[in-house]
Structure formats: structure tokens, C-alpha cells
Structure 1
Amino acid sequence: MKLTRRSILCGGAVAGMTALAAPRLARAEAQALRPLSGAELVAAAQLGGEVGYLVADARTGLVLEAMNADRAMAPASTAKTITTLYALETLGSSYRFVTRLLATGPVSGGVLRGDLILAGGGDPTLDTDGLADLAAQLVRAGVRGLTGRFYTWGGALPYAAEIAADQPVHVGYNPSISGLILNYNRVHFRWKRGQGGYALGMEAWSEKYQPTAYTIDAALANRSTPLFGYRQTGGKEHWTVASGGLNKAGSLWLPVRLPDAYAGDVFQTLARAQGCALPAPEPLRGLPAGAQMIAARQSSELPVILRSMLKYSTNITAEAVGMTASAARGANAARGASGAAMSAWLAAKLGGGKARFVDHSGLGAEDRISALEMVRAVTLLGPKAGLRGLMKPFGLRDSAGRTVEVPGLRVDAKTGTLNFVSTLTGFITAPDGTELTFAIFTGDLARRARSQSSGEPEGSRTWVRRSKVLQSQLITRWAALYG
């Protein structure tokens, strides 16, 4: 089917979808587009796989140009755009996450006569400095010790060992999910070679504090591959590193798989430094009735968290925010069910559609949404949510991949990148002030499936570079043609 302005707006290409609130166009006007120019750019990129895009007038919703716009494709991290809209409508812009310290008894003579519970509230931004603040609050409340046990509770969100199953074991952007999240559920692994061999360390690194993480350790292994190995025993995490894979000194973030134990361990160390001795942390399945809050830490308001999430594409933030929104709607907050709840929400807002989310970050390759649905969401729901103000400027590239500036042209967008998947969506201000919304999806999922998940497959970086050049060429063309 030939995609015209009218057919896309009125559902000729996507059955059951409502218009973007645009005026009807005459046939001659609809045929005045120049889709071959866009097609020639796509052909020159030599990506293979699939390419779908759509650009619309941001004020009227009028579709100006499209290619395969109704084809459901993997959005990668542009899925966070939908998560942002979903969370802001559900939770509200004033929403804050809260991490609490709860007590099951009174404080008397510097001793808590009962149990202490570190209760997570799903805050994806809690760091070691924030835990140190909670420890200081505990001491100010008069607690120097306790008669009972020290528990951690992460039940505010369902646990998942990882966000996506097809990622390398050691990448810090694919950690576990829990209602108790510390340092984005990552631990700072560092190494330094000396005369006696390598010194290895695991630390809960933040701006002010870098305590040792005692529930996670690392050891060298006499092998060449794989670079990292992982296992759990006795409630602790153990990493091995190939002895030939380390340079003289360095560091990186490794994912945490036992987040409640990690947070409890670090809090115990910080509380001890404040003069409060706590027993070893133990996991707690459910909060006891009647427990009283004796300290709390609030996160920043939701838009601040979402702006950082979109800027740095933080996967654990997207999952925590999206799952919290689903729980607030009374839906199953488990990752797959929560993604389905967001899919149903989007379909209700757009009047139908084929979008399907299994997560909120786009880290997995199973999510699907069309360029048409993405642009409709950005155009219809974005202004009320203040979406453009949360996105970051996008730098255009020339045919050689070098950053270029076009006077008067501004793009605020969310990028998405997986191996052999590159996506972009957001807002364009043309030099004459015309406002446009757009989505560009490229993906070769067959080639991705054939690649190894243990690292960056051969050809992926070049493929993504060509896709990003194509994105810039399309945006520059649209600004010139429709601005």
C-alpha cells in the first residue's frame, strides 16, 4: 500500500487507529510528497533488515512523510519515551520514591527494643551517600544498637535477576530488579597490578563514600576466556576474571544480582561508622504490621529522575519507574506483566494499536512499536507531560559521521541502540520555527540473532554508525522540506 498523508492519519494503513487530529487533504496535495528522496537515503545507508519512519507537524498532527510507518519494530531505548509518558500520567510529576527505616519496638537508652528494617520503596536513584544519610538519621533518633534483628525488604517491586536475558553476564546496565536498589544495582570493581600480583576490590562507590561490599567478591582465574564468570553461594556473589584479560589498572561497574543483601551489607558498614552496631542483614519476605518509621529518605521529584533516565538511558530506572506505575494502577508489577499493562495503557490512549512491551527500558529485543504509534504518542501525549523538556539535544552528523550544526535547527530526542538496532524519536524545530515530531526505527533482528551475545558482534558498530548518519540525513531533509 502506498502511504499517503491521509491513509496514515485515517487508519488506511493501520486498522482501528484514530487520526492525529489533522485536516483532510486533497488527493493532489497528498501526492505532492517526495518519498523517493527518503527511500534513496535509506537505500544508500545499506542497512538491510527493516527501516520505518514518520514525521508529522507537531501542532496539527499532520503526517508529512512516512516509510513502513505501521510496521511494529524493536524500539530499543526509545521505549523509555513511552515509559516516561506512562509514569508521569500514572504517578504524577510530584511523585517521590521513599526509602524507610522501620522499627518493631521502642528506643530506650540508645537501644532499639526490637527489629530494624531497611525497607526499599523502589527508588532507582538511591546511592551509598543516601544510605549514609539514613544511617545518620538513625543515630540522631537515638539508636546505637538493637536487641532484635536487622532486616532488608525489597518487596515494593517484584524481583528479577536481570532485565534482559540476552546480554553478557558482566554488563552493568543489565542488573537485577528489586524494590531495594542501590547504586543502580551495580558494584564498582577495581584492579591494580603490583609486584605481588593484582589487588582486586569491590566497593559501593558514590561521591562521598566508597565502602567495601562484603557480599560480593572477585578472584582471578587462570583462563583466557570468558573474561568474566559468575556464581552465587551462601547468599553471596562471586565473580572470576580471566587473568590475561586485565591491564595494569582500571575499574568498571558490575551488575548486582542480590540487591537486598548488597544494600543491607553497605548500610551495616555505614551505620557502624556512625556509631551504631547492627547485626548481619537478613532478607524479609513481608513487612510486619505495626512497624513504625524512624527515618526516611525521599528521592527527587519524578521529572528530575526521568530527565536523567532519558539523558543517560538508565535501564534500571526505567524498569523501576514503569513497574511502580503499573503497581499504582493495580496491575501486576512483575516485569512482563507490567510491560503488558503499559501496552494496554498506550492502546487506550491512542484508540488502538499493535505496540507490545515486555519491559520498560527497551533493553530486550522483544518490545515492538511502530513509528506511527511512537509519533502519535509523542505528538498527542508529549506536550501535556512536558516531554520535550525532558529530552536531550541530538547532535546531527554528516555523511562521514562527524558532528555538524545546521543554523536554527534544533532536535530534542531519545536515542536507542542495541546490536544491529538503532532508533530515534522526538522533536524538531526547523530554522523557520516549524515544529515537527518524528520517529526513525532501523533494525536487522535476523543479523542480531546470529551474532554472539558475549560482546559486540563484528560489524555492529559500523552498522549503527550508518544508521545514525541516515537519521541525521532524514532530519535535515525534513527541516528543509517542511520547515
Structure 2
Amino acid sequence: MSFIPYLPMRRFIRPLTIAALALPLAFQAAAETVNQRLPASVAKALQANKIESDALSVVLLPLNASAAPTFINADISINPASTMKLVTTYAALELLGPNHQWKTEFYADGPIENGTLNGNLYLKGGGDPKLNMEKLWLLLRDLRANGVETVTGDLVLDRSHFLQPDLPEFDDDGNDQNKPFLVSPDSLLVNLKALRFIARNNDGKVNVLVEPPIATVRIDNRIEALPKAKCPGWPDIRYNPIEEADGVRVVVTGKLPAGCSGQTYLSLLDHQRYAAGAVRAIWQELGGSILGQDRVATVPDSARMIARAWSPDLVEIIRDINKYSNNTMAKQLFLSLGAEFRNEADPDDAMAAQRVIRQWLAKKGLISPHLVIENGSGLSRDERISAREMASLLQAAWKSPFAAEFISSMPVAALDGTMRKRLHNTGVAGKAHIKTGTLNNVRAIAGYSRDSDGNTWAVVAILNHPRPWGASSVLDQVLVSLYNQRSESTAQR
């Protein structure tokens, strides 16, 4: 994927006033002692990877000590990739509150007699980002506990909670259309719309299963069984989905030695077919039946609620979003902000969320003329911010009543999330909470890190380059040099 430069988009950018160009006060106060040179080890890493220094934006901002901040290419409009999730999750913490929850409900429009619902069963989505199979199973168990076994009418899905935006599709590699990380948000998002395919060779017979066992997903198993051998780390198994009139046929090919297994996750169904299929699969396992068809409609006012499930609170949701860089959950949270504060002038919930976040930033004095926020996840070619603006946000979050919740949602260097394999055997291990970001032409980190004296810094390092190979090691070196800054400073003298 070639590098795509920033092109202003009228849809996302509002006119700026002269006042919007002012620097944050904390940066003005430190202006006379600002460091504008890359650490020698970072410059060396850039050179080793044949990356120009002007491709890297860096801001290092001391939060609890008197030290010189670093600003390098700090006011350039750049694509932040998934570090944009920090804007969305911090805004959600302050605007929705850390204990915010989403609800999913079943409604009935007819009487329940002797285990039979004589009418339609409605499933109303409330935008829950984490309505997984376990939660759906418990919700259906509650439905059984309330006396329902057979439904004579239809299964009706109410997906009206969000005013769904028409956002551009993202495909970084041109062949990612079935990858779960590209799943779009929805009012009734079930299990992140992921299908798990498991192939196992049990004594020469290869079986392929799919979870959840949705009836409209059929397996055409053509895997060749091989004699027992060392199991490969990445089995040679390929899944080719073929759309058919009544569902999807998945042709599975490849080779698998005896005693070995492999699994993969794909997203092959639209939201309606996945949600209905998952409900019917679990309901059948629970001994129930739904005699009617599947369709989409809103719950009528006359219907009564017969079962309800609550999501985990927002603190757990943002932990999943930031630790594991979950794009779909971030988009779901972004639209939830729009739905919560929507007004009549907003054409959809994405536009509402953009407005709400800009107003919230302005009230906090965080002037962000470079900010372009499309879906809140960073999985976009249009989203933009500057390193200075991101650092300003991190500085404000450090002073927030919800600072602990926000910081703990980020991966810990060398320990978990998307940072679990990085910075081992360095002083930074366990001492930095860092959100990562990756696109074909972007590598990014943003968060909080300590130096060797125990002082905490807001750290932003974002690299936009058409060939960012090896750039992750450059960004890691930013954190290492910050930790070792006293010794590096002495060495440079």
C-alpha cells in the first residue's frame, strides 16, 4: 500500500479561529527549555532502517518532574493509526462515566401460555460492544426461566439504536474483507460477528467445526489427511467462502497431519444473519424452537420486556479496546457517544460523536486544529492528529479523576496486550503503559512511561512513511532512550 498523504476533508474539519492556533499553556511555559533533537540512539535506529528523520513525530512531556520536554515534528498533521483509540476511550470515560453499561433485551408481543409464546420474539440491541456468546447464552437462559420454550411467530431483530453512518470501508491489503478486525459496528453486534473454524485430524480423519454452529454456514471439507508428523505452527489450511441462496458454503482445503489441529477466525455473515443464526443455534441447544422467520423491525410500543442483559462496565470495555486494539469495539464505543448525545441536527451517530468530542476537547482547553476523527478506531486513511495534540490529551488525562482507569487500560511494556513481545530485557519492561498503532504506512506509540529516576512522562512517537519496515524498533528506542536519558546525556557530553 503506497503512502497516502493528508488531504483535508470538509466533512470532518470545521473552520478554525485564530485562537485555535495557540499552544497549550504548559508547553508555552517550557518553551525556553524545549529539546528539539532526537536522542542519538533513535537517530541511529532511523538511519539503520533507512527512514528519514522528518517521518517521525515525537513529544516527550514530563508530568511530575521539572525537566525539558521534547518536541520534534510536533505540529505536523499525521495518521495516528490505532493510537486514535486513546481519544475515543478517554472521551468516553469522562462523557459516559466509568460505570456506563449497555443493555440488550428480549420483548414479546403476545401471551406466554404453557411454555409457548403466541407471537413474535424481539431482540433489541443497545449497542453493546461485548455481547459475546456466553452473555447471549445467559440471556436466552433467562428467557427460558421466564417460561418461554416455543415461539410461534418470528424472530425479530431491532437494530435501530444507532443512526448508522455511511463510512468508507477499509482494506489495507486488498484481501482482508473476511477478517474480523474489519467488522463494522452495529446496534446488535453479537460476538464481534466472528466465526471460529477448527480443523482436527483425529487418527486419520479430519473434522472441521464452526463456532457458533450457525445453520446457514455449511462446511465443504476437502482437507487431505496426512500421516502423523510434527504439527506445524501454521497448518496449511485454506477457507474459501461461497455465497449461496440460503447461506454460505465454506470450502476447506489443505493438508493436516494426524494428531494436529488448526483454527482461524473469519467474518462471513452480515449482522442480521449472524445475530439470528447465533440466537437460533443456542436456543436449539437449550431445547427451544422458533417457528417463524427472521426479520428486522423495531419493537412495538405494546410489546413487553421479558429478559434483559447488561454489558460489562465501560472500564472493562476500554481495557479490551486499548490492550488488544479492538477496532470494532472502538467503533461501537464511538457511535455510542454519538447516540448518547445526539441532537436533531446530527445526520448520524458518527457525526454526532465527532461534534461531541470536539466540544469536550474545547471545554478542556485542548485545541486540536489537526484532529480528524472518522470512526474513532484509527482504522482509517483519513483520521489525523498531531503529536503535540495527542500529548496534550495525555497530559489532561493524567490529571483526570479517571486517570487510573485510563492508564491501566493500555498495554504494559513486555507484559500484556499488543506490547507483550516488546522491550523485554530493557529498563522499560513493566514501567510503560503504551497504546500501539499499525497500518501499512504507520507505526505509532502513545501513552505513559517512566525514566530511571521514577518520573512519569507522556510519550508520543508516530512515524508515517511509505516503507516503515523496522519502525517498531525505532519507537521502542524512543522509550529506551527516555528511560536512560541521564546516562545518554552524560555520554553525549
TM bin, normalised by shorter chain, reads 0.7 to 0.9
Most deviating of 384-393 and 463-472: 463-472
- Kept in 1, the 8 Å contact 2:371–2:385? The answer is yes
| CA 61–370 in structure 1, closer or farther in 2 if over 3 Å, else same | farther
TM-score (norm 2): 0.78
CA deviations on 1:251-303 (whole Å, 9 max, x unpaired) are 11112441222222222232233333213551313222222110011111111
Residue type matched to 1:47 in 2?
Answer: I
2:449 to 428, 438, 452: 428
CA deviations on 1:92-113 (whole Å, 9 max, x unpaired) are 1121111111111232332223
| CA 273–162 in structure 1, closer or farther in 2 if over 3 Å, else same | farther
2:59 to 54, 57, 63: 54
Residue type matched to 1:142 in 2?
Answer: G
Shift of 1:75: 1.2
- Kept in 2, the 8 Å contact 1:394–1:412? The answer is yes
* Partner SS for 2:210: strand
* Aligned mates of 1:357, 1:407 — CA distance in 2: 31
Shift of 1:249: 3.3
CA deviations on 1:30-51 (whole Å, 9 max, x unpaired) are 4x76546354554444334721
* Partner SS for 2:57: strand
Q: Is 1:164–2:155 an aligned residue pair?
A: no
Aligned residues, how many?
Answer: 441
- Kept in 1, the 8 Å contact 2:85–2:330? The answer is yes
1:394 to 403, 410, 413: 413
Match of 2:12 in 1: none
Residue type matched to 1:199 in 2?
Answer: N
1:471 to 478, 485, 489: 478
Shift of 1:428: 1.7
Q: Is 1:258–2:270 an aligned residue pair?
A: yes
* Aligned mates of 1:290, 1:61 — CA distance in 2: 64
- Kept in 2, the 8 Å contact 1:152–1:264? The answer is yes
* Partner SS for 2:105: strand
Equivalence map 1:336-375=2 (5 Å): 337=351, 340-341=354-355, 344-345=358-359, 348=362, 349=364, 350-375=366-391
* Partner SS for 1:394: coil
Most deviating of 190-199 and 352-361: 190-199
- Kept in 1, the 8 Å contact 2:219–2:249? The answer is yes
2:115 to 97, 105, 110: 110
* Aligned mates of 1:329, 1:480 — CA distance in 2: 50
Match of 2:14 in 1: none
| CA 290–130 in structure 1, closer or farther in 2 if over 3 Å, else same | same
CA deviations on 1:400-420 (whole Å, 9 max, x unpaired) are 976223189821111112234
- Kept in 2, the 8 Å contact 1:191–1:200? The answer is yes
Shift of 1:441: 0.1
1:286 to 292, 295, 298: 298
Shift of 1:59: 4.3
CA deviations on 1:159-207 (whole Å, 9 max, x unpaired) are 8799623351232211232111222210111224579975332212xxx
| CA 368–92 in structure 1, closer or farther in 2 if over 3 Å, else same | same
Match of 1:17 in 2: 22
CA deviations on 1:293-347 (whole Å, 9 max, x unpaired) are 1001111111111112211111111111111111111065857536644663465
Residue type matched to 1:249 in 2?
Answer: S
Match of 1:83 in 2: 88
| CA 91–262 in structure 1, closer or farther in 2 if over 3 Å, else same | same
Match of 1:215 in 2: 216
* Aligned mates of 1:159, 1:26 — CA distance in 2: 42
* Aligned mates of 2:85, 2:63 — CA distance in 1: 20
Q: Is 1:380–2:396 an aligned residue pair?
A: yes
Most deviating of 408-417 and 107-116: 408-417
Match of 1:236 in 2: 247
Match of 1:143 in 2: 148
Shift of 1:90: 2.3
Residue type matched to 2:315 in 1?
Answer: P
Shift of 1:227: 5.2
* Aligned mates of 2:55, 2:293 — CA distance in 1: 50
| CA 359–217 in structure 1, closer or farther in 2 if over 3 Å, else same | farther
Match of 2:5 in 1: none
Equivalence map 1:96-107=2 (5 Å): 96-107=101-112
Match of 2:311 in 1: 299
* Aligned mates of 1:62, 1:353 — CA distance in 2: 27
Residue type matched to 2:189 in 1?
Answer: I
* Partner SS for 1:114: coil
- Kept in 2, the 8 Å contact 1:410–1:429? The answer is yes
* Aligned mates of 1:166, 1:407 — CA distance in 2: 31
- Kept in 1, the 8 Å contact 2:110–2:117? The answer is yes
* Partner SS for 1:431: coil
Residue type matched to 1:362 in 2?
Answer: G
* Aligned mates of 1:433, 1:14 — CA distance in 2: 36
- Kept in 2, the 8 Å contact 1:20–1:60? The answer is no
* Aligned mates of 1:262, 1:26 — CA distance in 2: 55
* Partner SS for 2:396: helix
Equivalence map 1:442-457=2 (5 Å): 442-444=463-465, 446-447=466-467
